[in-house]
C-alpha cells in the first residue's frame, strides 16, 4: 500500500480546512466580535491507528477509505453556545457537504465524552482532478477538550481497560466539566466583555 499517495489528499484537506477555520476566527476579530473559536487542531490519522481501527471494524485494506476520520479537524470553543454557532456555519458552507452529524453534546457517550461530530465530504483538487475526501470535524468546548484529552491518554495507557476507580473519577470529572460549562455560560456576557477590554489594551 502506497500510504503517502493515499494519505496526501487527506493531508491537503486537513490543511485547507484549518486555514478556512482560521479565516472565520480572523473575521470575528476584525469585526471585534466574540469569536466562537478558541483554537483548532488537525491531523491525519497515523497509519498504525488506521490499521488498528480497520481491523477492529473488519474493514479490508482496499476499503480503507470507508473510515470517516482519517482526516480530522477539531474546533475548540470557549462556550457551549459557540459549538452550535460553528455547527450552523459549517452546515451553511458551500465548499463542503455535511453527510452525518453526531451530537454527543446533548447526548453524552457512556464514557462521559461530550463533543459535536460532523462528517463531511470535502473536494480536494489533485493533479488527476477532484477527489472527494471524507473528514471528521469535532467541535467541543475547552472543558470538554480537557476531559477528552486526559481520558484519551488514560485509554491509551490502559489499552482501553481503564481501572474501575479511575473510570468513576473520570465520570465525576465529566460531570465537573459539564458544570463548568454551565456556570461559564451563565456569566458568558461578563467574560466576553472582559476579554474585549483585555484585547484592546
Ligand atoms: P483518535 O486517536 O482521536 O483518532 P461510533 O461507531 O459512531 O460509535 P466512531 O465511528 O469511531 O464511533 O465515531 P465517533 O464516535 O464519532 O468517534 C470518533 C472519534 O471521536 C474518536 O477517534 C475520538 O477522537 C473521539 N471519541 C469518541 N468517543 C470518545 C471517548 O469516549 N473518549 C475520547 N477521549 N474520545 C472519544 P478515535 O479513532 O477513537 O481516536
Number of domains composing the chain: 1
Instruction: Render pLDDT for 38-77 as a digit per residue (tens, 0 to 9).
Output: 999 999 999 999 999 999 999 999 999 999 999 999 999 9
The answer, yes or no, to whether any atom of ligand 1 lies below 6 A from the CB of 148, is yes
* Domain that includes residue 195, residue range: 3-200
| CATH number, position 53 | 3.30.460.10
pLDDT for residue 182 is more than 80 = yes
Task: Tell me which of 42, 69, 111 to substitute to probe ligand 1's pocket, judged by most ligand atoms within 8 Å of the beta carbon.
Answer: 69
pLDDT band at 200 (very low <50, low <70, confident <90, very high): low
Rounded distance between C-alpha atoms, residue 165 and residue 170, angstroms: 9
Q: Which helix (H) or strand (E) covers residue 44, if one does?
A: strand 39-44
Q: How far is the CA of 5 from the centre of ligand 1 (A)?
A: 25
Establish whether 182 is a catalytic residue: no
> For the segment 2-29, what is each residue's pLDDT rounded down to a tens digit?
999 999 999 999 999 999 999 999 998 8
Residue 201 pLDDT > 80? no
CA gap 120, 184 in Å, rounded: 30
Q: Are 42 and 15 in contact (CB under 8 A)?
A: yes
Tell me, what's the pLDDT at 30? 87
Instruction: Give the other-Cβ count within 10 Å of 101's Cβ.
Output: 14
**Given the residues 15, 65, 136, 193, the one annotated as active site:** 136
Q: First CA to last CA across the chain, in angstroms?
A: 54
Q: Which residues pair with 125 in a beta bridge?
A: 130
What gap in Å lies between CA 118 and CA 73, rounded to an integer?
Answer: 10
Residue-wise pLDDT tens digits, 142-179: 999 999 999 999 999 999 899 999 999 999 999 999 99
Q: Does residue 146 line the site of ligand 1, with CB under 6 A?
A: no
**ipTM attached to this prediction:** 0.90
pLDDT in tens, 68-93: 999 999 999 999 999 999 999 999 99
Q: Containing H/E element for 144?
A: helix 142-157
Strand partners, 112: none
Amino acid at each position: 500500500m502506497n500510504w503517502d499517495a493515499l494519505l496526501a489528499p487527506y493531508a491537503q484537506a486537513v490543511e485547507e480546512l484549518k486555514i478556512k477555520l482560521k479565516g472565520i476566527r480572523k473575521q470575528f476579530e476584525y469585526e471585534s466580535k466574540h469569536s466562537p473559536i478558541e483554537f483548532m487542531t488537525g491531523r491525519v490519522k497515523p497509519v498504525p491507528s488506521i490499521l488498528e481501527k480497520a481491523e477492529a471494524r473488519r474493514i479490508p485494506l482496499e476499503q480503507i477509505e470507508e473510515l470517516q476520520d482519517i482526516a480530522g479537524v477539531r474546533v475548540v470553543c470557549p462556550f457551549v453556545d459557540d459549538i452550535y454557532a460553528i455547527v450552523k456555519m459549517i452546515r451553511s458552507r458551500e465548499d463542503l457537504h455535511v453527510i452525518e452529524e453526531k451530537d454527543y453534546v446533548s447526548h453524552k457517550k457512556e464514557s462521559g465524552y461530550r463533543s459535536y461530530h460532523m462528517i463531511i465530504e470535502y473536494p480536494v483538487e489533485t493533479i488527476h482532478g477532484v477527489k472527494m475526501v471524507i473528514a471528521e470535524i469535532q467541535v467541543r468546548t475547552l472543558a470538554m477538550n480537557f476531559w477528552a484529552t486526559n481520558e484519551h491518554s488514560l485509554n491509551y495507557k490502559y489499552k482501553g481497560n481503564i481501572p474501575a476507580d479511575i473510570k468513576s473519577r473520570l465520570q465525576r470529572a465529566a460531570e465537573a466539566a459539564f458544570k463548568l460549562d454551565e456556570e461559564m455560560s451563565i456569566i458568558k456576557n461578563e467574560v466576553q466583555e472582559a476579554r474585549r477590554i483585555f484585547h484592546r489594551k
